[in-house]
Amino acid sequence: MLSTILSFDRNSLAPLEVQRSHRFAFLWCFLYALAWSLVTYHLDPTVPYDAVEALNWASNGEWGSPKNPWFVGFFSKILLFSNTTEFASAFWYVGHFSVIAIGMLGCYHLAYKLTESPVFAWIGLLTLNFSGVINFEALPYNDNYLLFGSWPWILFFFVKAVYDDSKWWVPFGVVAGCSAMSKYTTFAPVAMVFILSLAVPSVRRFWKEPYFYAGIAAFLLLVTPNFAWMFANNFSSVKWVSGQVSAQLSPGSWLAVLSVFYPLILLAALLGNKSFKLTKHVPEKVWLTTFVLFAPLIPIMAWFTFHKGDRLVEWLHPFFLPASVVLVGFLSKEIIGQLSKTLKVLSIMALVIIVGYSSVLFFNVKNAGQNLSGVIKLADQAEEFWYQHQEQPLELVGGSDYSEWLTFYIAPHPKVTKKWSSETLPNVYNRNITSDAIAEHGVLLLGQLGKGCESGTFSRFTEEWPQFYPNYTKEIGFRKSPQDDELPVCLGVVSPQ
């Protein structure tokens, strides 16, 4: 496959060879998704906590959530179709990497659209291999991976709409709307497109085109329900974001930019003198796409110079994915035919990253391969205890924070007993829980770690539902991972009435 990629490093390619490049780009992204899905499914000890949150938001099925808009929960509804935890785990990994692979393919097509050069498109795509953003760093964030899959296509549809056919404003509006409802960060590039529609003649002309208004309508149709939900729920997601930021002089925030965009520096070093062969004489579409992607970083970083936010790196991740794609548009075509070494190194890095990650998990470096693996065994013990005392299906779980993991690792996904509160804004909750539901279905309780079956171990449940108390209890040992100390924890069953 590498030899095929190297064959595209020529100035002139026949149309059939260009189509061959497109097919190989699809194959590359497919193999990426397949490899990373298999590695993570078989070697990751547990899904991240964000999977528990996503499942909970899917269960509630609302137009918003305490941290994100509604699309994260909507996409995660597939988890509710599973009757086994194996399916749920597989979907988490396969779903992540399939969506990211779609975004990678969008990077390739965007780069080709901007440069009309297959080799530059491959440089933009393969530069992603320098970063962990598209693989192991994407797993813990159940919103960013949806942005990784959508942002390259948002930019691609924008270019297609402006320079090919106005009908592309419709898919732009749809994808931008779904992306904005995955994470509010998407409003940054969308706002830049709006500014261009007012300031740049080639974009402003579309205010006279019906497809432009159709795209706006599609976008508003997707985002408006979330604003109504936020208004009715104390603007919980806004409060969560503001809670992650504190006002203080923070010049160190600029290190976050370096930690996200360092692959571009590595690419420049790899290109050597060729990286300085840039040209400002590029098509307008390159300049406009650059503005849409990078202009938001100016006010964002100006803000974070005077505010500290521990999640800044995470929030900058989506800007990285199309960055190399956009910047290759400024490379001079004089260097085409001299890129074989660059292509080789970038391709090999894909193998280095996945082998390195697999090795860390397989050899359990710093407990990476067994971290929180104990929750799966805990879920099995809890489920067994329930069916020792009850015949009807397990519908509800409650108690300590760790009870939330049971919703994922016990099939078919019981719900929590924690009520929604507009004051405390819990991340995981049950909008429809009632005392009648608890009386009808009963509850499997998990006590506080380390307290065993001492008095008050179920306080998180009993303070909220004082009319219910467990009919059966059992103390078991729990280890977060095999090398951790064993902690006593109490299981309890509130029998159906």
Number of Cβ within a 10 Å radius of residue 152: 29
Give the end of a domain, one of 349, 367, 385. 367
* Cβ atoms 59, 413 nearer than 8 A: yes
User: Is pTM, for the whole model, over 0.85?
Assistant: yes
Say yes or no: 332 and 383 in one domain: no
pLDDT of residue 398: 97
Specify burial of residue 444 (Cβ count, 10 A radius: 0-12, 13-18, 19+): buried
pLDDT at residue number 445:
98
- Asked if 196 and 141 sit in the same domain, the reply is yes
CA distances (Å), 430 to each of 55, 73, 404, 471, 493, in order?
A: 12, 14, 11, 23, 19
Q: Which of these three, 319, 340, 367, is where a domain ends? A: 367
Give pLDDT, residue 275.
65
What letter would DSSP give residue 418?
P
Q: For the chain, what is the radius of gyration of the CA atoms?
A: 25
Give the amino acid at 378. Answer: L
Q: Based on the domain organization, do 299 and 409 belong to the same domain?
A: no
State whether 336 and 417 are in the same domain.
no
Looking only at the bridges linking them, the beta strands covering 245-247 and 415-416 are unpaired
Q: Looking at the structure, do residues 416 and 361 belong to the same domain, yes or no?
A: no
Cβ(396)–Cβ(441) under 8 Å? Answer: yes
- ∠ CA 430-87-380 to the nearest 5 degrees? 70
Q: Both 43 and 137 in a single domain?
A: yes
Same domain, 155 and 44: yes
Let me know whether 146 and 215 are in one domain.
yes
CB half-sphere exposure, 229, CA atoms < 13 A: 20
Query: One digit per residue, pLDDT tens: the chain, 497 residues?
Result: 788 888 888 888 899 999 999 999 999 999 999 999 999 999 999 999 999 999 999 999 999 999 999 999 999 999 998 889 999 999 999 999 999 999 999 999 999 999 999 999 999 999 999 999 999 888 887 789 999 999 999 999 999 999 999 999 999 999 999 999 999 999 999 999 999 999 999 999 999 999 999 999 999 999 999 999 999 999 998 888 888 888 888 888 889 999 999 999 999 899 887 666 677 789 999 999 999 999 999 999 999 999 888 888 999 999 999 999 999 999 988 899 999 999 999 999 999 999 999 999 999 999 999 999 999 999 999 999 999 999 999 999 999 999 999 999 999 999 999 999 988 999 999 999 999 999 999 999 999 999 999 999 999 999 999 999 999 999 999 999 999 999 999 999 999 98
Which of 315, 347, 367 corresponds to the end of one domain?
367
- State how far the Cα of 339 lies from the Cα of 331, in Å rounded to an integer: 12
| Same domain as 356, residue 244 | yes
Domain that holds residue 444: 373-494
pLDDT computed for residue 250 by the predictor: 84
Total domains in the fold of the chain:
2
At 397, phi and psi to the nearest 5? Answer: -130, 155
Q: Which amino acid is at 18?
A: V
342 and 387 share a domain?
A: no
224 and 143 both lie in a single domain: yes
Give the contacts of 73 (CB within 8 A, at least 6 positions apart). Answer: 54, 57, 58, 60, 61, 62, 65
- Asked if residue 341 and residue 445 are part of one domain, the reply reads no
